[in-house]
A and B are shown apart, each in its own frame.
Chain A
Amino acid sequence: MDSTQAVYQALKEAGINFIVSIPCVNLSKLLEMVECDSKITHVPVTREEEGFGIAAGAYMGGMKPAILMQNSGLGNSVNVLASLYQLYKIPILMVMSHRGTEGEFMSAQIPMGNATPRVLESLELPYFKPSTPEKALKDIKKAWEISESKGVPVGILLEITFW
């Protein structure tokens, strides 16, 4: 199974219908599929924090939101996750291309790559780290169930070797 296809299929099966995004090279195929899907409202944003704001508003308006971003965007979004999402118990699926992991060619990605799981842990946000497309298909659906039922953002970390 193709990795991008698995993530897309899982988003569809989870019922995600509103996606905000900031590109990562590893997400480029997925972003094209999302953009072409007439059942998904796709809003490209200027910064991940802004994307979280838009997705929160969309959730209040009845949508099921996800954000597609690089893990660097998590660093840009710590306050909105704590003082909007956690405060009001708003769900969102955070699909992250996890750079700075095994196989990274760009040294600049390493510090945030290392910090990413611990940033999620310090916010007490659950996350999954599927290593194969089959696991991603399962984990993403499970992640949205947890997110929606508990009103908590849930992360999906997709490391370089996943792609």
Chain B
Amino acid sequence: MILEFSRIKLSEKMERINAIKTIANQIDDELVVCNIGFPSRELYQVKDSPNHFYMLGSMGMASSIGLGLAIAQARKVIVFDGDGSVLMNLGSLVTIYNQAPENLILVVIDNECYGSTGSQCTYASTVDLGEVAQSIGFKNNFKFSESGEINFQPVLEAEGPIFVHLKVKAGNADVPIIDMTPEEIISRFMKEIKEKEIK
């Protein structure tokens, strides 16, 4: 089942930073794993939190890191992934489906291009990643594809693993690089997880 939150009329896709901001403002206690490059920089700019793990390298690994984290502990995990990154590690969707963590939400922010390297096209313009997830077996699929409000509440209330397909415009916001060291990012994140561990 795909729940699609878009009106039929011609509509404009949203900017990625606005999509990230809208979702970030609706989540509170969830852990977030954010993809390499501009997505992490944009999230850091709109909302920083000890609940965030910003990837600085290892393209393609966001969904895998999120899966490991979701299996290892009980808090809900939201992954902000990208179309190019998911295509680089498509097997991850198969593993997530089989491991079936109830506390994992995979948000694929799809701008149909490698946005951090000059917007070269990905194959996501011809292959619908939401349909790929559905064909693998993901039961709870959501799609957001136009500007305006994203109501993330139904996603937060659904049982995982959840696949969220979020279509956005190509292009990056003019945001600075993250001024934290890798060790600061991971130690703050792990401290947060440890201190608020759900038994």
Task: Give the distance to chain B from A74, nearest Cβ to Cβ, in Å.
Answer: 15
Instruction: Identify which of B64, B73, B189 contacts A50 (C-beta below 8 A).
Output: B64
The number of residue pairs between A and B whose CB atoms lie closer than 8 Å in the complex comes to 119
Select from chain A the residue with minimum beta-carbon distance to B67. Answer: A54
Cβ contact within 8 Å between B95 and A57: no
Given contacts A43-B99, A50-B91, A88-B186, A57 and B68 within 8 Å (CB-CB): yes
Contact residues, A49-85 vs B (CB, 8 A):
49-63, 65, 79-80, 82-84
Select from chain A the residue with minimum beta-carbon distance to B99. Answer: A43
Instruction: Give per-residue flags for B95-108: 1 if the beta carbon is below 8 A from chain A beta carbons, else 0.
Output: 10001000000000
Interface size on A, residues (CB 8 A): 32
Chain A CB within 8 A of B58 CB: yes
Interface size on B, residues (CB 8 A): 36
Chain B CB within 8 A of A41 CB: yes
Task: Give the distance to chain A from B42, nearest Cβ to Cβ, in Å.
Answer: 20
Cβ contact within 8 Å between A57 and B186: no
Contact residues, B30-65 vs A (CB, 8 A):
33, 53, 55-65
Q: State the main secondary structure of chain A at its contact with B.
A: helix
Task: Give the distance to chain A from B26, nearest Cβ to Cβ, in Å.
Answer: 23
Cβ contact within 8 Å between A46 and B57: no
Query: How many Å lie between the Cα of A158 and that of B59 in the bound state?
Result: 30
Query: How many Å lie between the Cα of A68 and that of B196 in the bound state?
Result: 31
8 shortest interchain CB distances as A-B pairs: A83-B57, A57-B68, A53-B64, A61-B72, A46-B91, A53-B61, A57-B69, A84-B58
Binding site for B on A (CB under 8 A): 18, 41, 43-47, 49-63, 65, 79-80, 82-84, 87-90
Binding site for A on B (CB under 8 A): 33, 53, 55-73, 89, 91-92, 94-95, 99, 182-183, 185-186, 189-190, 193-194, 197
